[in-house]
Structure 1
Amino acid sequence: MEGAFRLKVTDEGIFLAVAPEGDVTLSDVVALLKERRIEDYDGQVVAKAVQDRTGEMVKIADRKPELDRPAEVEIKISEDAMSCSIRVIPPLGPLPLPSVEDLERFLKEHGVVEGVKRQVLEGLSQGMHLRQWVEVARGREVVHGKDAVINYKIDLQRLKPKETGEGSRVDMKDLGTVINVLKGQELAEKLPPVQGTDGITVMGKPVKAQVGKDKNLPAGPGTELSEDRMHLYAAQDGHVSVKDGKLCVSPIFEVKGDVDYGVGNIQFVGPVVVHGSVREGFSVKAGGDLFVEGVVEGAVLSCEGAMNLKVGVRGTGKAVLEAKGDIRCPYIDQAKVVSGGDVYVSEAITHSLVSARGTVVVQGSKKGQIVGGRVQAGVEVVCETLGSDMGTRTEVVVGVPPELMEERKRLTEALKELKGKMAEVDTNLGYLKKMEERNLLDDQKRALMVRLTRAKFQLQGQISISEGRLKAIEEEMERSKSVGKVRVKGVCHNGVVVSIRGMNYIVRDDQRFVTFLVEEGEIRIKPFDY
């Protein structure tokens, strides 16, 4: 209410002024008069002054010297003793306001000795902020220490199912089970603890800061710490797991049971071992060898190393197996199989598409049968039984690694496209060079000539690399023409088609203990041990 109305006591009497602005009521004025123990005032004059709000002083009572009173100071200290406020009630009568020294003495008498705001006290002593609570002292706030923080550089929350982007649906096959890391990859960083700063209350009492606690980085097997022990790195390629609160990097990923909805798809930078089966619709991709103890259903398996399947493949026309190395398993049924090495099957390959860069061997049991589908090998196919007594069409192709033929096809098409671009660049460069000889090139065409020259060098490099690879493929395919056999230790049934080096032979009658090979430009039949 300061400024809205004010009292003035002189020898002539007690005067009241109500300012035109401000929100003041008659009750506010009467309350102040009672507070100052002024009782013999003219109520009508007071009411008119509040109503008119002229801002002029009007006499409302005679002065009684016996009612003169000095200024009063009230104090309020916060519960945590970090703040102190005072309120100065001005004197009644011609008495002075408390000086700065008076206010400091008052605070000290009440125990306030720290953080006193002298400038605020000076304002109060000059009549500012009268009748208002004003903070005159502020303690020094305590700053508590902060514990060390471990920031993980890998997403340990990836074990939760991921949203597919179709509303609230999630892909339960993509559970993010494997967290792949590479050697030298940062796994976690430690932010050191921050020391706190003690505080002090307005009463001068110290407030102890909480001490920040240190933490160790969760270094487990397969990890290594930086020299300053503030960073944690993977010591090897592998997958991250948490054991006893520590990060571990394992070079082999093991699935204790089946690869199903409880595990999800697997993609790992190193070897993978599945102690159960791989169920239909799921995939396992290994950056090293892959071993599966259970059956492989209509799943997709791939690995950069060898693939060893302990039970076999029941593919139902959906299974796809690809390995850079050898593939070994008891049986393959209704699956597509591609090997960069050899394929070894002990029991049977039935109604499947099997391709191997090296040899396909189906032996190790009395059955040892290849029936239905197509088996292709770069070197040799060996089995106990080929085809079936039902005359099931079974095709066996040997002599040229299938992936080489596919790569040659891709390279030939790519070279044709690159050379076409080169011809176009040469034509444009020739035109620009003729213009240059006649001094007809502007800045724009000169910049174009620079870009075309750079493009020509890039195309020359790409063509050189592609031609070199194509030459190596042609040489390898030429060498493979000297090999190529299909060997059947038991029975080769009618209906089998044998293809060697592009030549076909259809078996019309059952053959036993035979080898199919090329001699003098045609496929001939020799004994098994030829």
Structure 2
Amino acid sequence: MSDQGFELQVRKEGIFVKILPDEGGSLAEIAAYLRERQIEDYDGQALLKALQERPAEPVRIADRRPELDRPAEIQVQITEDALSCSLRILPPLGPLPWPSVDALKTFLKEHGVVEGVDEKALADLANQKIAKQWVRVAQGRPPVHGKDAAIDYKIDLHQLRPRDVGESRVDMRELGTVVNVLKGQELAEKTPPVAGEEGITVLGKVLKAQQGKDKNLPSGSNTVVSEDKLHLFADADGHVSVKDGKLHVSPLFEVKGDVDYGVGNIQFVGPVLVKGAVREGFEVHAGGDLFVEGVVEGATLSAEGNLQIKIGVRGIGKADLQAKKDVNCGYIDQARVRAGGDVHVGEAIIHSDVGARGIVEVLGSKKGQIVGGKIQAGQEVVCETLGSEMGTRTEVSVGVLPELVEERKRLSENLKELQGKMAEVETNLGYLKKLESGNMLDDQKRGLMVRLTKAKFQLQAQLGMINDRLKALDGEMERSKLSGRVRVRNICYPGVSVTIRGMTYVVRETQRFACFLVDAGEIKVKSFE
């Protein structure tokens, strides 16, 4: 019998202890074990010496007293959930037998353990005389809970899919993505619920299992459910939205209030109308025009057409607005704005980063002020007031926009790469055509010639698109060079820097009714008109 790095041996000559090498064991552990076995009259000095020297032979620490002989003690440990039971055997003192398998079984029954008994574990305990170690001898079966019915959305709208965040709750921010569908397209599929299986404890108590709950397909307007109730289809062409947990197919997209947690992010291939505000952190992407009747906070907006914001943008440094065409807005405060056309603002542009390929105009009111931030325009910047009495740093740049230069550079690199590929394809085709003319073209080379011919047509198409875009960029950049100017109808304050075609003019004195333009190779200040 061994435990904690020592063996206790009971002989006729006395009680001996053997300290096992390199297996730990301490005086306190051995003393506690001796007290547990009611062996109190032992030689502490001999025990301490044995621990220090760890001799190969057992050391006698006490007289043998037959009246202390006792049978093995079986201890039981059942987990709180009653799914596991372990036994530990304290060996007998004196010439008494080790518990048999039958004795262990009887012990278990006396303690109510009737299920999941491990016959092999009991045999190991009895035959190998495993002492003072907890050994699992019975294992219950936990219940297998059923699975609720699940809805698998077949359309690519991860944000539209209700995302559970708790019992009967969903993340409302992720319910607003717009996805176009066609009539008859599958929207969702239901997986039926799965029944649960009961479990049982080692004490024979049945553990009930939770049964899977059923749920209906989220069928809303302009949708239809299949006969087997497992599939949901669109019953009309349109875009999908979520309302009251159901999928609806609508031909038009309109937000009657604010874009917030009640609506979620919006992404639609056509025009979008928001009759309220767009709150901080939300996104609206329109494939056509985008019109917002309220305020835009720190949100992200993009439009393939025009972007019109009736009131204005209160961006708090987080708003990002982009439009392929024009941007029209009441005011812009701490926002980033990019327009493929013009930017027209009524009241003011304040501490913002605004860029337009055409004109940036702030003339809709007597204030008409641009103050702080950076303004870039391909053709012209015009306003009532530029800068502020406080000398706020305000940068205005007109002429060729940096993004146009970067796009032209990227396209030129792509053009060179494609031209190299085209030359390689034409060389290989020329070789194959020579083989063909001499009737030396086998099936493998003929297939290669077909693939190369197809690749040539694809490269020609790509080269044509790039050349057309480069020609358009060159024309736009040339027009920007001819028309770049900054006009201030009222006051331009010191602290403003004006850059035109790479040249910079820093305003050091208040200017009135001024027009900044390039004349004779330098920026000059002339009259507004």
- Does the CA-based 8 Å contact 1:493-1:509 persist in structure 2? yes
Q: What is the deviation of 1:488?
A: 0.8
Q: Hey, what does 2:175 align to over in structure 1?
A: 176
Deviations 1:144-198 (A, max 9, x none): xxxxxxxx9999999662369xx9999825533465446x744899xxxxxxxxx
Partner Cα separation in structure 1 for residue 220 and residue 172 of structure 2: 30
Alpha carbon RMSD of aligned pairs, Å? 4.1
Aligned twin of 1:415: 415
- Whether the aligned pair in 2 keeps the contact of 1:378 and 1:402 (CA below 8 Å) is no
- Inter-partner Cα distance in structure 2 for 1:156 and 1:517: 50
Give the equivalent residue in structure 1 for 2:348.
Answer: 348
Contact 1:399 1:484 in 2 (8 A): yes
Query: In structure 1, what is the Cα distance between the partners aligned to 2:437 and 2:291?
Result: 68
Any conservation in 2 of the 1:187–1:234 contact (CA below 8 Å)?
Answer: no
Q: CA deviation at 1:299?
A: 0.8
2:419 match: secondary structure: helix
Task: Identify the residue that residue 387 of structure 2 maps to in structure 1.
Answer: 387
Structure 1 residue 418: Cα displacement:
0.6
Query: Which segment drifts farther, 490-499 or 427-436?
Result: 427-436
1:295-334, aligned counterparts within 5 Å? 295-334=295-334
Partner Cα separation in structure 2 for residue 508 and residue 171 of structure 1 = 57
Partner of 1:465, secondary structure, is helix
Report the alpha carbon displacement of residue 354 of structure 1 after superposing the two structures with TM: 0.7
Q: CA deviation at 1:522?
A: 2.7
* Cα deviation digits, residues 51-82 of structure 1 (max 9, x gap): xxxxxxxxxxxxxxxxxxxxxxxxxxxxxxxx
Q: Which residue of 1 aligns with 2:252?
A: 251
Q: Which residue of 2 aligns with 1:362?
A: 362
| C-alpha distance in structure 2 between counterparts of 1:459 and 1:513, whole Å | 53
Tell me which residue corresponds to 1:54. none
1:175 aligned counterpart, secondary structure:
helix
Q: Is the 8 A contact 2:255 2:276 kept in 1?
A: no
Q: Distance in 2 between matches of 1:332 and 1:321?
A: 10
Equivalent residue, structure 1, for 2:454: 454
Q: Give, in whole Å, the separation in 1 of the partners of 2:336 and 2:261.
A: 23
SS for the counterpart of 2:508 is coil
Structure 2 counterpart of 1:66: none
What is the TM-score when the length of structure 2 is the normalising length? 0.54
Counterparts of 1:169 and 1:419, CA distance in 2: 59
Partner of 2:275: 275
Structure 1 distance, partners of 2:434, 2:155, is 59
Shift of 1:334: 2.0
Alignment of 1:453-472 (within 5 A): 453-472=453-472
Describe the SS at the equivalent of 2:276: coil
Q: 1:520 corresponds to which residue? A: 520
Rg: which structure is higher?
Answer: 1
Q: Is the 8 A contact 1:301 1:322 kept in 2?
A: yes
| 1:523 positional shift | 2.1
> For 1:413 and 1:524, how far apart are their aligned partners in 2?
37
SS of the residue aligned with 2:330? strand
How far does residue 273 in structure 1 lie from its aligned partner after superposition?
A: 2.9
1: CA distance, partners of 2:158 / 2:367:
49
1:479 aligns with 479
| Native 8 Å contact 2:296 2:313 kept in 1 | yes
Counterpart residue identity of residue 382, structure 2: V
**CA pair 416-311 structure 1, distance change in 2 beyond 3 A:** same
Whether the 8 Å contact between 1:312 and 1:329 is mirrored in structure 2 is yes
CA contact (8 A) 1:355 1:402 kept: no
For the 8 Å contact 1:239–1:253, the answer to whether it is kept is no
Give the stretch that moved more between structures: 494-503 or 295-304: 494-503
1:432 and 1:505 map into 2 onto residues whose CA distance is 62
User: What is the SS of the residue equivalent to 2:464?
Assistant: helix
Letter in 2 for 1:335: A
**By how many angstroms is 1:415 displaced?**
0.7
Shift in alpha-carbon separation, 1:393–1:428, aligned structure 2, 3 A:
farther
State the percentage of identical aligned residues.
Answer: 60
Letter in 2 for 1:393: R
Deviations for 1:326-345, whole angstroms, at most 9, x for unmatched residues?
22223212211012222122
Distance between the aligned counterparts of 2:421 and 2:220, measured in 1?
Answer: 56
**Structure 1, residues 243-274: CA drift from partner, whole Å, max 9, x if none?**
9x997735341232x32222211223333333
Residue 291 (1) aligns with residue 294 (2): no
Range 448-457 or range 519-528, more displaced: 448-457
CA contact (8 A) 2:156 2:179 kept: no
Asked if the contact 2:274/2:293 (under 8 Å) is kept, the reply is: yes
2-side partners of 1:160 and 1:427: how far apart? 52
CA distance in 2, matches of 1:415, 1:398: 28
Distance in 2 (alpha carbons) for counterparts of 1:417 and 1:173: 47
- Per the alignment, residue 122 of structure 1 pairs with none
Runs of 5+ in structure 1 lacking a partner?
1-151, 190-216, 221-230
Distance in 1 (CA, whole Å) between partners of 2:156 and 2:462 is: 39
| Structure 2 counterparts to residues 46-445 of structure 1, below 5 A | 161-162=162-163, 172=171, 174-177=173-176, 180-181=179-180, 185-186=183-184, 234=236, 249-256=250-257, 258-400=258-400, 404-429=404-429, 443-445=443-445
Distance verdict in 2 for CA 1:418–1:480, change over 3 Å: same
Displacement after TM superposition at 1:521 (Å): 3.2
Relative distance call for 1:354 and 1:425 in structure 2 (3 A) is same
Distance 1:456 1:187 in 2: 37
State the partner residue of 2:511: 511
Q: Is contact 1:327–1:342 with CA below 8 Å preserved after alignment?
A: yes
User: 5+ unaligned residues in a row in structure 2: which ranges?
Assistant: 1-152, 188-218, 223-232
Question: What's the CA shift for 1:429?
Answer: 4.1
